[in-house]
């Protein structure tokens, strides 16, 4: 098992009855393969009532990799919990 970071595109409901928003987020979890990580994340997002659109990027976390502070925190939280599914910040697309 390895820690995977998946950048997923999704549609999430917004509080207060506003229309759902499309965007993306980095998600970390433990998995044995890319396909397992992506399927696990897709199922989790759907359990929250979010619509999974696609995977933008997916990779095994590199212990010597260059990650931002938020991503490093996500990785550490995942490392300490074998059942972790850690969601990063939800970034919506800029409207034109």
Mean pLDDT, residues 35-52: 92
Mean pLDDT, residues 1-7: 95
Checking if the pLDDT of 96 tops 90, the result is no
d(CA 25, CA 87): 7
pTM: 0.85
Sequence spans of domains, the chain: 2-92
Contacts of 61 (CB under 8 A, 6+ apart): 2, 3, 4, 5, 28, 75, 78
What per-residue confidence (pLDDT) applies to 38? Answer: 93
Checking if the pLDDT of 14 tops 80, the result is no
What per-residue confidence (pLDDT) applies to 33? Answer: 95
How far are the Cα atoms of 13, 30, 57 from residue 5, in angstroms, in the given order?
Answer: 23, 9, 8
**Is the pLDDT higher at 63 or at 85?**
85
């Amino acid at each position: 098992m390895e820690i995977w970071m998946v950048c997923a595109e999704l549609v999430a409901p917004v509080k207060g009855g506003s229309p759902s928003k499309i965007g993306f987020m980095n998600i970390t979890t433990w998995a044995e393969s890319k396909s397992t990580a992506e399927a696990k994340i897709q199922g989790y997002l759907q359990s929250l009532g979010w619509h999974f659109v696609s995977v933008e990027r997916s990779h095994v976390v590199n212990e010597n990799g260059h990650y931002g502070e938020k991503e490093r925190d996500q990785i550490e939280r995942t490392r300490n919990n074998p059942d972790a599914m850690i969601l990063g910040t939800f970034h919506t697309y800029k409207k034109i």
